[in-house]
Amino acid sequence: MTEDIKRVAREHLATEGADLSLRAVARDVGMVSSAVYRYFSSRDDLLTALVVDAYDELADAADEAERAAPRRDPHARWMALARGIRAWSLAHPHEYALLYGSPVPGYQAPEDTVGPASRPQLLLAQILRDAVAGSAVFPAPGDRLASGLRADMVTAAEFLDLGDVPAALVVRGLVAWTQLFGALSFELFGRFEGGITDADALFEFEMRAMSDYLGLRSAAH
């Protein structure tokens, strides 16, 4: 039953967006609204369940896309990861907005979303780790990091299990990650409406630029 409600809610999410109505979902399931509260303690609770599912779906899709790239080619893996994330996001714009858009008013993402939320980042972390281990990354220039920034990067490196990845590369990974989701947000939230017609080409350019910025080596690049 819980799965039934989530399924219908996902459909509503896909068509109407984040302002899904618990009553409408209940109607579609064939229940009265109060009955839904047997399974979800509130509308936010239902939303949280969808958020967690969406993170997992995104991570699965990205993981699968990334796995198709040759293991020893970090550039190809990065591009595959980025394309995989974008493909899922374009196919699920409302879910994307839920995950990476403005926070739903009055909705505070609870603790149990941070685990799933970090899964996509772990995929990039793994690429960087493998690249460093396999010497498939050009040595990062000696960026001077402010002490607070360096400390944050060390913490992040521990959290993401980035063994030998230097802090200077970690922060560059964060820059690339920011670029990726900035690009997706621009595209999905309609900021390209007036002007950009070839969003595919722009995205490819951006991700290639980030690959260069990360210093990822590639067989054919």
Binding site for its own copies (CB under 8 A): 16-19, 97-98, 100-103, 105-106, 109, 114, 143, 145-146, 148-149, 151-152, 155-156, 159, 171-172, 174-175, 178-183, 185-186, 189-191, 194-198, 200-202, 204-206, 209, 213
- Pick between residue 44 and residue 206 the one whose CB is nearest to DNA: 44
Contact set for DNA, span 11-40 (CB under 7 A): 20-24, 30-35, 37-39
Return the closest-CA partner of residue 179 out of 85, 93, 91.
Answer: 85
Q: What is the largest CA-CA distance in the chain?
A: 62
Cβ neighbours around 141 below 10 Å, total: 9
Q: How distant is the alpha carbon of residue 67 from its chain centre?
A: 16
Give the C-alpha separation, 80 to 75, whole Å: 9
Among 42-50, 66-74, 167-175, 179-187, the segment contacting DNA (CB under 7 A): 42-50
83, interface contact from its own copies, DNA, none, CB < 5-8 Å by kind? none
22, interface contact from DNA, its own copies, none, CB < 5-8 Å by kind? DNA
Q: For 68-191, where are the alpha helices, taking DSSP H only? A: 74-91, 93-100, 114-133, 147-159, 167-188
Residues lying near DNA in the complex (CB under 7 A) are found at 1, 20-24, 30-35, 37-39, 41-44
